[in-house]
Amino acid sequence: MFEAIAFYLFAALTISMFTITVMTQQALYALSAMAAGMIFISAFFFILGADFLGAVQIIVYTGAVMALYAFGMMFFDTTRTVVEKRTNPRFVIVLATLAALLTVLVVIVPIIAVDMPAQLPIDPSAGNSQAVGMVLFTKYLVPFELAAVMLLVAMVAGIVLAGKKMDKSLTLMAEEEIELMQTAQYTPVAHEEVH
């Protein structure tokens, strides 16, 4: 019974939070509601007995949404509402129809589908984090490694994009050196390099 109460409570909370995320015109509301929704999702993992995934959900998404806040801070005045330009009403209609269809499917599927047996039933002798580790390093090894490589690519790309003149420290340089560097930047050859 407690599982059912917790499930419906957190389901309602999660859905309302993500609704706020989508509907609001306030960047700060949207971000905060999204962070809250992500944390409420972890409750489902805890209800299902997947403690490890629940804790990881909290850790990963608080950090990820925190990075979004940093962008929000840079791009918006977060205390004002953002007026969106909706140029194409057809786009909204298509999206709304798809969303409605998806909702109907989600409700219908449990009625017509049979109970699915677990493909990889939990080994009761292994703990939660051990079970995740076993699956991650056997069945899902290739996607796991691929994700790691993709993250590495993203990191290298980020460093290349952002890291111009990272070997120099403006704080430690003398004024003349900085001026010299800035004039060098505006010569035609170096100019192409910079942009």
Partner 1 sequence: MDTAFIIETMIKIVVLLTIFSALAGLGTYFERKVLAFMQRRLGPMHVGPFGLLQVAADGIKLFTKEDIIPQNVVKPIFKIAPVITAATAFIAAAAIPFWPEFTVFGYTVHPIVADINIGILFILGVMAVGLYGPLLGGMASANKFSLISAARSAAVFISYEVISGLSLLAPLMLVGSLSLIDINNYQSGGIGNWIIWTQPVAFILFWIAAFAETGRTPFHLIANDHEIIDGFGTEYSGMRWGLFFIGEYANMFFISFVIAIVFLGGFGDGTIAGAIQLLLKVSFFFFFFLWTRAAWPDVRPDQLMWLCWKVLMPIAVLNVVVTGVVILVQGGL
Query: In the beta sheet, which residues pair with residue 81?
Result: 26
Nearer to partner 1, 39 or 41 (CB): 39
- Shortest distance (Å) from residue 67 CB to partner 1: 6
Q: Using CB under 8 A as the criterion, what x/- string covers residues 121-140 for binding partner 1?
A: ------xxx-----------
Residue 52 CB partners (closer than 8 Å, separation 6+): 128, 129, 132
Contact partners, residue 173, CB within 8 Å, separation at least 6:
181
Amino acid at 92: V
Q: How far is CA 32 from the centre of its chain?
A: 13
Question: Is 2 or 186 the residue whose CB approaches partner 1 more closely?
Answer: 2
Q: What is the DSSP string of 28-89?
A: HHHHHHHHHHHHHHHHHHHHTT-HHHHHHHHHHHHHHHHHHHHHHHHHS-TTSBPPP----H
Letters for 59-78 (x = contact with partner 1 by CB under 8 A, - = none) are x--xx--xx-xx-xx----x
Binders in 12-51 for partner 1, by CB under 8 A: 26, 28-29, 32, 35, 39, 51
Shortest distance, position 141 Cβ to partner 1, whole Å: 18
How many CA atoms, within 13 angstroms, populate the side-chain half-sphere of residue 131? 14
Q: Is 26 helix (H, G, I), strand (E, B) or coil?
A: strand
Total of chain residues touching partner 1, rule CB under 8 A: 28
CB 74 → partner 1: shortest distance, Å? 9
DSSP letter at 115 equals P
The nearest distance, CB 32 to partner 1, in angstroms, is: 6
Residue 156 makes contact with partner 1 by CB under 8 A: no
The contact set with partner 1 (CB under 8 A) reads 2, 26, 28-29, 32, 35, 39, 51-52, 54-56, 58-59, 62-63, 66-67, 69-70, 72-73, 78-79, 127-129, 171
